[in-house]
Amino acid sequence: MAFYVLQMEIAVVVLAVLGLLAGAFWPKHTSLIRRGLAEGALVVLVASLFLVFPQHHALFGGAYVLDRFAIVFKQVLLGAAALVLLLADAHEPLRKQGGTEFAALVLLATAGMMLLTSANDFIFLFVALELVTITFYVLNSFLRGESRALEAGLKYLVLGALSAGFMAYGLAYVFGAADSLNFGDIHHALHDDKTAQGIYLFGFALVLLGLGFKLAMVPMQIWAPDVYQGAPTPAAAFLASGSKIAGFVVLLRLVFADVFPPAWEAQPVVLMALAALTLLYGALGGLAQTDVKRLLGYSSIANAGFLLLGIAAGGDFGHAAVIYYLVQYLFAVIAVFAVLTVVANAHDTADRHTLMGLHRRSPLLALALLLAMLSLAGVPPLGGALGKFFVLVATVMRARIDPAFYALAGVAIVGAVIALFYYLRVLRGAWADPAPDAAARITVPWTVRVVLYICMAGMLFLGIWPQPLLALATRCLH
């Protein structure tokens, strides 16, 4: 067995274990260790850029594949983890709690996500997914003194368990219909034997439902606002970036492996309906929110809708658009959470007052928030604008064959206009409202500064020069 194929995941797990051990042996130096873990993740990322990977490799009887698509997203997820670890080190409530467990758990979740990008078998997928979900149960309720964090953890636990149940139940049907859980075998079984397709469809729908929990897709979206609001800000940041990206990578993998039920490939009505509902739910639900973290929960749902739209539209360009969208979304969403990490109040929530007068208290944070909100809203010259544009292009391309997609493009545009309202309202608090008297200038820790600079550069670069990433995304498909 060629274990060097797994070297990135192994490195991350080793890093996590080292972090736990070091925290136990040198409890006085936890801050140093935490930062060391973030830097370690970055080192693995940088090293992976120079490693020569085998072109196409499979392990464990084809359950694990390593291709360009997987490698690129392993690197993206590692990058996200490194940024989140830097944030976690600057997060006051987490610092007070001390210890290195939070950082180690983030790395373990990252390992799970990295495994997910390579999953080519439903059992492997399920196990990797559980590794991510179970670590998040802990991450979300890590601040055990806060009732909101406990509530968030519990909600995530209950719904996570439910979705895992759905998925396991669905897998039983999938196995019954296709006699295998390997994507390659399923693909053949489906096209050779047409009798079992009905059962397969049922099983696959349940699997999609289980996966929908990770994506924050209607009807499994209900937890997102509550958990984003209650979870420690860095955990919410990782939930919104890493966890969501991993979920969509799995969905893309299912598309690439061609294991979607044949009926859906011809006319993806279910995906289309889910995309439209998710989009509108996220856009409309956010209108009445006053807490920024909660609002981001709805924003994350709306963005999931856009991504689903890209997947439903399909085609090489649609998939490349989804890949582009995921990467630019990462920068925008981490930037917002980085700002909130610093400004969130003692209870680690961010109601309207926390952002008031931010332009006075810290111009850097206000600028980062401005760029991130505009990118999420889809305003040029930031990555988000092109992300939405590419998805729309893919949708209209598909609509020329299948006119129902014109309606979806319309829904997407309406959703984007509605969402602009709440993004602008956040900016109003930060830029227009005067600072409350008691609010002093904010000093931004250097770790957060680094994160903000990286995210702002990323958003601007992707918005102005999208060609490299788009080319890479296209290469990933083949």
Partner 1 sequence: MIPTTLTPGAFALSLTWGLPALTILVLALLPESRARLIRGVSLASALLNLALVAGLIAAWPAHRPPAGAEVPLAFAARLPWFSQPNISYFVGVDGLSLLMMLLAAIIAVCGVLVSWRIETRAKEFFIFMQVLLAGVFGCFISFDLFTFFLFNEVTLIPTYLLIGVFGSGRKEYCAMKLNLMLFAGSALVLVGLLGLYFASGLHTFDLFALAQVRFPADFQHWAFPALFLGFGVLGALFPFHTWSPDGHSSAPTAISMFLAGVHMKLGGYGCLRVAMFLLPEGAREWMNVFLVLSTINILYGAFVAVKQTDLKYINAYSSVSHCGLVLFGYAALNFLGLRGAVLQMFSHGLLTALIFAVIGMLYGRTHTRQLGELGGLMTRLPFIGVAFTLAALAGLGLPGLSGFVAELNVFLGAFAQTPLLNKVCTVLAILSIVVTAVYLLRTINKVLHGPPQEKDAGLKDADLAERAAILILLAGVILMGVWPRAITWLVDDALQPIVEQLAR
The contact set with partner 1 (CB under 8 A) reads 317, 359, 374, 379-381, 385, 389-390, 392-393, 396-397, 400, 409-410, 413-414, 416-417, 420-421, 424-425, 427-428, 431-432, 466-467, 470, 474
Nearer to partner 1, 113 or 427 (CB): 427
CB of 73 to partner 1, least distance (A): 21
Nearer to partner 1, 269 or 417 (CB): 417
List the structure tokens of 246. Answer: 């991993």
Q: How far apart are CA 69 and CA 478, in angstroms?
A: 9
CB of 209 to partner 1, least distance (A): 32
What does each C-alpha distance from 297 to 229, 287, 291, 302, 404 come to in angstroms? 8, 12, 10, 9, 29
Q: How far apart are CA 232 and CA 435, in angstroms?
A: 25
CB of 75 to partner 1, least distance (A): 22
Q: How far apart are CA 281 and CA 473, in angstroms?
A: 29
CB of 389 to partner 1, least distance (A): 8
Query: In 3-state terms, what secondary structure has residue 332?
Result: helix
Nearer to partner 1, 43 or 367 (CB): 367
CB of 28 to partner 1, least distance (A): 41
Nearer to partner 1, 156 or 422 (CB): 422
CB of 397 to partner 1, least distance (A): 7
Nearer to partner 1, 143 or 322 (CB): 322
Nearer to partner 1, 42 or 364 (CB): 364
Give DSSP secondary structure letters for 204-234: HHHHHHHHHHHHT-TTS-THHHHHHHHS-HH
* Closest to 461 in 3D by CA, of 386, 383, 374: 383
CB of 400 to partner 1, least distance (A): 6
Within 10 angstroms of residue 472's Cβ, the number of other Cβ atoms is 15
CB of 280 to partner 1, least distance (A): 15
Q: How many residues does the chain have?
A: 478
Nearer to partner 1, 189 or 374 (CB): 374
CB of 371 to partner 1, least distance (A): 10
Q: Give me the half-sphere count of Cα atoms (radius 13 Å) on the Cβ side of residue 447.
A: 23
Q: How far apart are CA 396 and CA 401, in angstroms?
A: 9
Nearer to partner 1, 175 or 406 (CB): 406
Nearer to partner 1, 144 or 428 (CB): 428
Taking each helix axis from N to C end, the angle separating 244-256 and 122-140, rounded to the nearest 10 degrees, works out to: 170
List the structure tokens of 71. Answer: 């490698």
Q: Give me the half-sphere count of Cα atoms (radius 13 Å) on the Cβ side of residue 280.
A: 12
Residue ranges of alpha helices (H) inside 119-261 are: 122-140, 147-178, 183-192, 197-215, 223-230, 233-238, 244-256
Taking each helix axis from N to C end, the angle separating 383-399 and 404-427, rounded to the nearest 10 degrees, works out to: 160
Residues in contact with 323: Cβ distance below 8 Å, sequence separation at least 6, in sequence order: 72, 252, 469, 473, 476
CB of 473 to partner 1, least distance (A): 11
Nearer to partner 1, 432 or 457 (CB): 432
Q: How far apart are CA 105 and CA 117, in angstroms?
A: 19
Nearer to partner 1, 28 or 400 (CB): 400
CB of 217 to partner 1, least distance (A): 24
CB of 225 to partner 1, least distance (A): 22
Burial of 234 (0-12, 13-18, 19+ CB in 10 A): buried
Nearer to partner 1, 421 or 446 (CB): 421
Q: Give me the half-sphere count of Cα atoms (radius 13 Å) on the Cβ side of residue 432.
A: 7
Q: Residue 403 gets which letter from DSSP?
A: T
